[in-house]
Chain A
Amino acid sequence: MTFSSPFRSVKNLLMTLLMVAATIAVLTPLGIIFLHILKMGASSLSLDFFTQIPKPTGETGGGMANGLFGSAVMIVMAGCIGLPVGVLGAVYLTEFGGSRRATIIRFSADVLAGIPSIITGMVAYTLLVVPMKGFSALAGAVSLALIMIPIVLRTTEEQLKLVPGTLREASLALGVPLWRTTLKVTLASARTGIITGVLLAIARIAGETAPLLFTALGNQFWSRKLTEPMAALPLQIFNFAIAPYEDWHRLAWAGALVLVGIMFTLNLAARYFGRQKRYS
């Protein structure tokens, strides 16, 4: 027994307490946010929320069906742009890219990923809204796609790098052309990882509000035209939350709950795919 021994256990206890405190500090805000949204949202959530569009000012009730629909449309469209561009870019980087060009593309993707989303919205505004002389779902989808591309590109690249070179060579040595090898061997092996990345990217853009402010603008009514302003869930939450009506606030909370639920589901799905076992 030495004298340092009691000090050691005191130090140990102190550090453990500190770490527990840190953990609580991290989890508390998350818990508060979650519980608060649940409490405020659940009471306002009803079937109407999913089937009705917002009621005119003064009337009670209504829902955000058009916002849900608009978000879905724009996310699908953004995916149609962002997914192929991101995946093909990653394939180019890992499978075909010369080192110099690859470095430039990788750097651009990182810069693009770091750009605040409001600026992405302004870019889409200048490139699409101004020439087309009006806000549109299309412009909204493009701005979301711009956010999605670097995320998909970098996660896909990481996944492709994990595919062992010997697998590609095995395929090539059998007389399978490079593009077919890329498609059937490399991309197929990295499939689950790529799906995970895409789901996380979708979760990210599902909640984006800022870029839609200048592009899709939002819409109180149903809109099925891609060239016209379209409602989106985060936009509606934003507009309803800052409105001076109690009933609209309740709808905003319900929208927040639904949005958080969607993100939660997407993240769970991403985890599920990310965990699937595979032989390497």
Chain B
Amino acid sequence: MQTKVQLDNLNVHFGKTHAVKGVSLEFPANSVTAIIGPSGCGKSTVLRSLNRMHDLVPAARVTGRILLDNDDIYERGVDPVGIRRRIGMVFQKPNPFPAMSIHDNVLAGYKLLGRLNRTTADEIVESSLKRVALWDEVKDRLKTNAMELSGGQQQRLCIARTIAVQPEVILMDEPCSALDPIATLKIEELIDELKEQYTVIIVTHNMQQAARVSDYTAFFYMGEMVECGTTKMIFTTPEQRQTEDYITGRFG
């Protein structure tokens, strides 16, 4: 088992708030790792440090190391833009670009960079939309506005947009929390397929979802990582009392 991303004593401060406290954790390649824990425990903060989104928050300070294929992404001289190309992100609320068509949304990563190659464009659109199982639903209306899709379709479009630029790692922050059960199921199936090609890290509030889609699970509490391991182990024989309480819903 090869490690794709590794956190080494990661600390994140927002001004005086110590949001993530000395977390060390490994994310194995070509697998799905779920991050679970109660609200405010720092899940999103960990996820956003992985693609250097905190660079834009003046109050945020990230220390420690995050290794992507053994290279520290926070090392001096590393371009965050290059990191974000390799580590894509899907957000909680579907956020397609409202002024763009479905077609253009898939290609947004190329269009916004001004690096669109017209000969391969349609190919990229088709293969990306097929990967997220959206192609059949939209192939006849690729030129319509992306906002006309349903929430679940929009979220799959956002995933298509992310994989269109061929990242290595995909971060997902509660990608199904705005969706109904059927749309959720579709995304979960998709996540399962994505791991063949990508390393997936997903934050979720839904225990069943974590159990269904992930291979590994890490449990966070108050900014610390309490426990991590295979999903099976975390959900059946957790070592820590806190983990067990949280998973069984006995959390106080």
Q: How far is the CB of A187 from chain B (nearest CB, A)?
A: 12
Chain B residues whose CB sits within 8 angstroms of the CB of A175 once the complex forms: 81-82, 84-85, 109, 113, 165
A-contacting residues, B88-132, CB 8 Å: 88-89, 91, 93, 95-99, 108-109, 112-114
Write the A94-121 contact mask toward B (1 if CB under 8 angstroms, else 0): 0000110000000000000000000000
Residues of B within 8 A of A280 (CB): 98
How close is A101's CB to chain B, nearest CB, in angstroms? 11
For residue A13, CB closer than 8 A to chain B, the reply is: no
Contact flags (1/0) for A261-280 with B, using CB distance below 8 Å?
A: 00000000000000000111
B58 near A: Cβ within 8 Å? yes
- What residues on A are CB-neighbors of B191 within 8 Å? none
Q: How long is the Cα–Cα vector from A280 to B85 in the complex, in angstroms?
A: 26
By secondary structure, the A interface counts as helix
Taking a contact as CB atoms under 8 Å apart, the answer to whether A172 and B84 are in contact is yes
A174 touches B95 (CB 8 A): no
Q: State which residues 133-185 of A face B: CB under 8 Å.
A: 164, 166-167, 169-178, 180-181, 184-185
Contact (Cβ within 8 A) B112 A185: yes
Contact A176 B147 (CB under 8 A): no
- Is A176 touching B113 in the complex (CB atoms < 8 A)? yes
Given contacts A98-B58, A169-B91, A171-B112, contact A177 B81 (CB under 8 A): yes
Interface size class of A (residues with CB under 8 A): 20 to 34
> Smallest distance from the beta carbon of B203 to chain A beta carbons, Å?
14
B112 CB contact (under 8 Å) in A99, A166, A184, A189 = A184
- B3 interfacial by beta-carbon distance below 8 Å: no
Interface check A243, CB cutoff 8 A: no
Q: How far is the CA of A214 from the CA of B27 in the complex (A)?
A: 70
Could you tell me the distance between the alpha carbons of A63 and B162 in the complex, rounded to whole angstroms? 62
B156 at the interface (CB under 8 A from A): no
Asked if B242 is an interface residue, CB under 8 A from chain A, the answer is: no
Query: Do B165 and A174 have beta carbons less than 8 Å apart?
Result: yes
Q: How far is the CA of A173 from the CA of B162 in the complex (A)?
A: 8
> How many Å lie between the Cα of A172 and that of B80 in the bound state?
10
In the A-B complex, the 4 residue pairs with the smallest Cβ-Cβ separation, listed nearest first, are A175-B85, A279-B98, A174-B109, A173-B89
